[in-house]
Structure 1
Amino acid sequence: MTLLRKLTAQWLNAMCAFCALSGTSAAIAATADPDYPNKPIRLIVSYPAGGSVDVAARILQEPLTQGLGQSVVIENKGGAGGTIGTAQVAKAAPDGYTLLLTLSSHTINPAIYAQLPFDTEKDLDPVSMVASAPQVLVAHPSFKPSTVAELIAYAKAADKPVIYGSAGVGSPSHIAGELFKKLGQVQLTHAPYRGGGPATVDVLGGQIPLLWVSLPAVTQYIRNGKLKALAVSTKERTPVVPDVPSMPKPLTVSMWIPGMPCSRRLARRDQSSTKFRKCWQTPPAIKPYSRLSWPSAVAVGGTPQALEAVVKKEIPAWKTLAKEANIKIN
């Protein structure tokens, strides 16, 4: 079994988790502020409106606002695989009032970008993993193949590579597409978008035939027949769309919500994490997750330390995978 297959069969089986991060400054003392928060919090979403990260942010906004007693203002800063929004948070004041909501592309980007305007581990502090969901391969209803086997046969017989969309270069959906190409031994042309929302609009309109995207972003379109789902990326079928088969080999890609500009102000980080986790484990937050059925991890609410361990594990693993799959951005 190749390294790619081993990775795919093991930890890629959980590849779609949201995470919260914040920014860093080693000089700041590690003291908690009993009045935190005492002003509105900016939640930077590193992908455009309409995609799964944005969906998660909108679900969390009201419970966080009510639980924290301060407004949570969402700002969508999509583009460049989440790096534009991430860079903005990394450069923000490390005071716990600017947070980042992003995908597991946070740990993918160091492996595929030749240079980033921030240090993924040094400039951002993990706050908590929030939720996860599988990727799904969907197509416009007019697209002939309706199963993975039919798609592979169709792509191999086609005169030119079939186009598939993703939420952007280095996004979990891009990685899922590239893994599919490798394991299916087919030629597909990648069409990166500035998020899952814009990509979904184009596949709905027939501008592109195929799309890898996180399930919550397209569940409604699968259910009403506006999109045809070929497979979910997990090993098992999901109860959200039980008629959609699972992939022959799991290709799930994580999405998480990292948190604030990395302050190394550990007391503030832990304080904010505790308050956030308490808010998003309340019924107003959990019920929408359950309704959308993000089955891998509904309202996870993990600790900063748990998320930090994930980051440290995934960065070197993605570098190995990116090298083998030849995924890079100059």
Structure 2
Amino acid sequence: MSFLEISDLKVHFSNRGSLFSKKGPPIKAVDGIQFSLEQGQTYGLVGESGSGKTTTGRAIIGLNAITSGSVLFQGQQLAAGGLRSHAGFRRDIQMIFQDPYSSLNPKKRVLDIIAEPLRNFEKQSAGEEKRSVQQLLEQVGLSPESIYKYPHEFSGGQRQRIGIARAIALKPKLIIADEPVSALDVSVQAQVLNFMQDIQKELNLTYLIISHDLGIIRHMCDHIGIMYKGRYVERGTTADIFNQPQHIYTKRLISAIPDIDPTKREEKHSFRKAVKVEYEQAYENYFDEDGLAYPLKPVSETHFVALPGRG
């Protein structure tokens, strides 16, 4: 059994309408996705805004109610019984949020921000708590003397490290990182991502990384799921997705990645041109009459794509 196993996950929201419109059909934010993840691996969920990737992460950790489907974490069912069933797993599953500026309470000192999960799950004296927080700050590359500072006294990259320190305070097994570097300058993004990889090896962490940036996903992930309107269009290993993309949506995402290698610019330009032509001439071959992805079918043992008539 896999460390994390998601089966036919659905998260639907009620469409209550408005004062001038009737109640509509439910909004299918996530509509039947599945994947598995082994301990120590990194899985990437990719898609544009509204694709359902963030809703998926929030459903796993318990911030969104699951309509149906199965979420097995170390063999334990998290989906059954609503959000209350997640309480016992809070320390093992933590989240790194997108914006380091809004995810940290500006009125609290770093000591209180990082110590909050410790106070919820562990009984420590004030001295023990202080030492724990200082050790965590050192672990993420910040001065232990920073415990009495406030978030506004740090740069964006430093704030995200504080968020990471808070996430690893309870020594979790799974971390869900929702756009962990999108709010940071490009020059800082690589530093934070490399640090996340270092700490993953040190603590044997498992990551679920949510991003719209395929470049980041390629750098970080072992397996990738490409989402569009709540469904997968393609999923597979990183090599499957980047070396043999099958779906036009995946190809368009890859074609949008900047290529800084001057020797490959002509090749990338030809690829973008071919993708544009294919998208304009054969879009209807990739989606059903409602503009939704078809069910996934196998290309190989690890590679699945949402195309009709395959497999």
TM-score category, normalised to shorter length: under 0.3
Larger Rg: 2
TM-score w.r.t. length of structure 1: 0.24
The one of the two structures with greater contact order (alpha-carbon pairs below 8 A, sep at least 6) is 1
TM-score w.r.t. length of structure 2: 0.25
